[in-house]
Chain A
Amino acid sequence: MRWAVYILFTLIALAIDASFGGILKIGESQPRFLPCVVVFAILSAPRPYAVRIAMMAGLLADLLSPVLRSDGTQLVVLGPWTLGFALGSLAVVPLRTLLYRRNPISSGFATLVFSLLASVVFVAVWVLRMLLLRDETPSWWPGTGGGEVWRQAKVALVNGLVAVPTVWLLEKTRPLWGFSTAKRVIPGAARDLA
């Protein structure tokens, strides 16, 4: 897998999420393209890289989503989305054997699972942070963590819907990504005959 291509597509997805994505809002749920790109990469990249590529995307998401503090300053907290994406990738990796990877609908389902778990961890990390550091407030304040999980679940559903056409488009760029297509050769009767 070419890391440069992955980073490029991740940055493009982040930029679209921060600008163009707003017009695709369904109700209050704005779909995000970043999970679609990450899931596409996880489903096709070598298995040992899965968690790392997800964490890198999560780190970028953390860096570009600062929270507003009570004194009006912005604070970038690294970790919530990084850990969330890591757990999401751990959930998606086993699906590689169950799903037909190149099917966009399969990718949509995988994106739904990925986004859902990532959001649960995101909320959990912020709750932990609130418990440890009393002066911190998350972005959903004064709402509750449960409410935020529910909101993020709706976003995950929308992500799953958006992932279908997005992954279909990403499939067109597959040659750029340099995913390994080597197959393991198993000796057998047919090979012996040949």
Chain B
Amino acid sequence: MNATKLLQYLSTRLRGPRLDGALAVLALVLAILPARALAPWTGDVARIVAVPIVPIMHLGMALRERIRPPREVFDPRAPEVIELEMAAERYRTLFEQSRLKTEALERDLAAVKAVRARAGSGGVQLETAAVIGIDPTRREGLVRISLGARHGVHRDAAVILRGDIFGGVVANDPAEFVSLVRPSVRCSLGVRIYPDEGVDADRAPAVFPGTVLKPADGGVWLGDLASDAEVREGQVVRLADDRYGNVSKGMRVGRVRRVLPNDQVPLARVVEVEPLAHLVDEATVVVAIDPPEGTP
């Protein structure tokens, strides 16, 4: 009875803007009700309200799928997917190969540029060669490279490693397309010994102690040295021998490993030098080819 009266009262009082205000207050109260007060009934009301619009939504979804079809379900085991993955792997490998090749070519180019800077305009031709064969016994350390007489390679042509390391010389008359290289560690070399921290460019090479290195067992050189010369371990040894051409003159050869007393000559010492790089460990080298005789 009271409820009926309340409804009658509300219907007479709540009209126009007052009704709008009351509805807004009710909406605000509902909006800030905690979840435990809303969850039991709002979900059910929503489900009831959704009933009439579900058919229209189905129609809308059908239209949507018609206009923009959904993507097919991805099957990672489908043959075309496996084929694509294999192709991607193949191309990745090829890309990696190309990248390594590019890096190797860039290294070669840098080495050639470094040697060319040393060679100046003396007419010396610089060619990059690949190391294609190594002496299996490694006793002599001979190496076969991919340049021969057809490319202008001649006997005693200097072989340069990493831009400024004297690696050896072409051993004998080269074949048409390949040559045999004798590593520097098997050559007698006239050298000078420089401080490892660098030298003043104005100082003449003659002020630095010199010696002739001779191959010794263990892949090193030995050379006699005057006792008054100041030589320490770790000093850099550079080529000072005219026999190997101007390009290789001044190139690094090795590093002083030990300075030993000379038993036979008390006033002299023996210097033991180890090579900075081994020809057999390189993949590419640069060959300095002198111009043919008669060429200006």
Which A49-73 residues have C-beta < 8 A from chain B?
Answer: 51-52, 55, 58-60, 63-64, 66, 69, 73
Cβ B27 vs Cβ A79 within 8 A: yes
User: Min CB distance, B143 to chain A, in Å?
Assistant: 65
Partner of B56, one of A16, A22, A59, A76: A16
A128 interface residue (CB < 8 Å to B) = yes
Pairwise interchain contact A78-B30, C-beta atoms closer than 8 A: yes
Tell yes or no: B32 within 8 A of A by CB: yes
A18 and B60 in contact, given A48-B16, A79-B28 (Cβ under 8 angstroms): yes
| Contact count A vs B, C-beta below 8 Å | 114
B174 → chain A closest CB, angstroms? 70
Query: How far, in whole Å, are A64 and B35 apart by their CA atoms in the complex?
Result: 17
Tell me whether A19 and B60 are in contact in the complex, defined as CB-CB below 8 angstroms, given that A63-B45, A77-B42, A136-B35 are known contacts: yes
CA of A100 to CA of B49, assembled, Å: 34
Q: In whole angstroms, what is the CA distance A136 to B60 when docked?
A: 32
Partner of A69, one of B17, B32, B35: B35
B26-43: CB near A (< 8 Å → 1, else 0) gives 011111101100110011
Alpha-carbon distance A129/B56, docked complex (angstroms) = 33
Chain A residues within CB distance 8 Å of chain B: 11-12, 14-16, 18-23, 48, 51-52, 55, 58-60, 63-64, 66, 69, 73-80, 82-83, 86, 125, 128-129, 132-133, 135-136
Top 8 A-B residue pairs of the complex, sorted by shortest distance between their CB atoms: A79-B31, A19-B60, A15-B56, A20-B60, A76-B42, A15-B53, A82-B27, A63-B46
Q: Can you list 25 A-B contacts with CB-CB less than 8 angstroms, sorted by A residue number?
A: A15-B56, A15-B60, A16-B56, A19-B64, A20-B64, A22-B64, A23-B64, A51-B20, A52-B20, A55-B20, A58-B27, A63-B45, A64-B50, A76-B42, A78-B27, A79-B31, A82-B30, A83-B31, A125-B32, A128-B32, A129-B31, A129-B32, A133-B32, A133-B34, A135-B35
